[in-house]
Copies of this chain bind each other. A is one copy, B any other.
Amino acid sequence: MGTYIPHTEDEITSMLDFLGLATIDELFAEVPAALKLQRGLELADGAGEPDVLAHLDDFADRNPARTDRLLCFAGGGAYDHEIPAVTKALAGRSEFMTSYTPYQPEVAQGVLQAVFEFQTMIARLFGLPVANASLYDGASATVEAVNLGVAAAGLNTVWVSEGVHPHWRQMLATCAAGTGHRLRTVKLVNGVTVWPDTDLTGEDRPGVLLVGYPNYLGCLEDIPAARSICDRAGAMLVVATDPVSLGVLKSPGEWGADVVVGEGQVFGTALGFGGPYLGLFACAQSQVRRLPGRLVGETVDLDDRRAYVTTLRAREQDIRREKATSNVCTNQTLMAVTAAIQLAWLGTAGLADLALRCARATRYTRDALLAIDGVEPYATAPVFREFAVRTRLPADTLVERLADAGFLAGIPLGNEFDDGDHGLLIAVTERRTRDEIDAYVTAFAKAVA
């Protein structure tokens, strides 16, 4: 019954008439009759918007994990950060929402300029000169970065730190089936990567080193160590980062990374059960022609007024086809625009304060939890805004128990990590108050007792 089609029956008739057709089915005359669906789709008939909204709200109601019911201490690449009304209001403007890729720059300066500002902010944050207009998410950005690295180095062996988000490593492996990259996982010890000192000329010679900073366990890796291996091996250094941490941490670019990727959800995008998020990607000037995805550049119009346009299009699939640097077309522009707004809202001081607040809350929580007997650090290396603990209890059980107490306790490390079943990854954002944390710690103590 619900429909968004304006046509009345009269209009349909007269249009068919004009086409010399008697029935609407004749529009599909070229579809072989044998193939046609002989019945209607087995879906419920159309419903009114209020009924549909109610139906979707029923689903929503069956998600006790929602942040308005469980206080969120989970992170792992998706964080419960402040999203101010102003960011929602501006990013929700329908001109940003209901437009598409700026193929006609004359009527797309709004999105183009917002993305240009986004690129500038990400480039500054990551410490590299060029950032693209977005990729799907952290995982896909990582895959693209490795592809770029392999192409640049001309070597398809990739050393992957175990400290990179397990899901991102999984996608990397999935895609390697197609690209043929040879992935070598390098273990963490006490939370940081210990690179093998194998002979760098042999068949294991890496074209890419991939490391997290901070890594999945929240630990601060030794980037110079990775850099020096790259220099010796002629490999590219790809760093997967947590962009919020960079409010305080030295940028991967400054540490010497060739490519930096990250998950941009932290800049104004809802948790939303995992998507749509925002893949962040920045690289060295030398790699700009290998850059995946769109890039907005500044130029001028006929009247010499400042204008923006997508540029270096020759890299892209619609022009380069099978030789393109990537297959990405539709990206996550709206989230990039959202991030530009959120980063402008935060500003220089706000982002630094945000990172600091997260680090303080994390330290406060970690100290309190480790004071509980039966709770040990999973890794000992210094952490920034996230950390893992080990308890007697299976982490899944711990999460269930704390849910009853009103908390989403964290993320079980799972079988991806040694003894991960008893490891819990915990993130504490600026939104958690001391009272909330104290209550969490108390419930935690009760749960593990």
A8 within 8 A of B: no
Name which of A17-25, A81-89, A223-231 contacts chain B.
A81-89
* Bound Cα distance A50, B82 (Å): 8
A94 within 8 A of B: yes
* Bound Cα distance A50, B345 (Å): 14
Contacts of A94 in B (CB 8 A): 89
Within 8 A of B (CB), among A40-91: 49-50, 53, 82, 84-85, 89
* Bound Cα distance A53, B68 (Å): 14
* Bound Cα distance A84, B48 (Å): 11
CB distance from A432 to the nearest CB of B (A): 12
Contacts of A84 in B (CB 8 A): 49-50
Within 8 A of B (CB), among A89-105: 89, 94
**Are B85 and A49 interface neighbours, CB within 8 A?**
yes
How many chain A residues touch the partner (CB < 8 A)?
9
Chain A 416-436 per-residue mask, 1 if CB under 8 angstroms from chain B, else 0: 000000000000000100000
CB distance from A226 to the nearest CB of B (A): 38
- Measured CB to CB, the residues of A under 8 A from B are 49-50, 53, 82, 84-85, 89, 94, 431
7 residue pairs from A and B, CB less than 8 Å apart = A49-B84, A49-B85, A50-B82, A50-B84, A50-B431, A53-B85, A89-B94
* Bound Cα distance A81, B420 (Å): 53
* Bound Cα distance A174, B406 (Å): 52
* Bound Cα distance A431, B94 (Å): 28
* Bound Cα distance A164, B242 (Å): 64
CB distance from A322 to the nearest CB of B (A): 42
Contacts of A89 in B (CB 8 A): 94
* Bound Cα distance A89, B92 (Å): 10
CB distance from A325 to the nearest CB of B (A): 38
Chain B: which residue is nearest A53 at the CB level?
A: B85
* Bound Cα distance A84, B94 (Å): 16
* Bound Cα distance A114, B82 (Å): 36
* Bound Cα distance A85, B57 (Å): 14
* Bound Cα distance A449, B66 (Å): 41
Chain B: which residue is nearest A431 at the CB level?
A: B50
Chain B: which residue is nearest A89 at the CB level?
A: B94
Chain B: which residue is nearest A51 at the CB level?
A: B433
CB distance from A93 to the nearest CB of B (A): 8
* Bound Cα distance A89, B89 (Å): 11
Contacts of A50 in B (CB 8 A): 82, 84, 431
* Bound Cα distance A53, B84 (Å): 10
Contacts of A431 in B (CB 8 A): 50
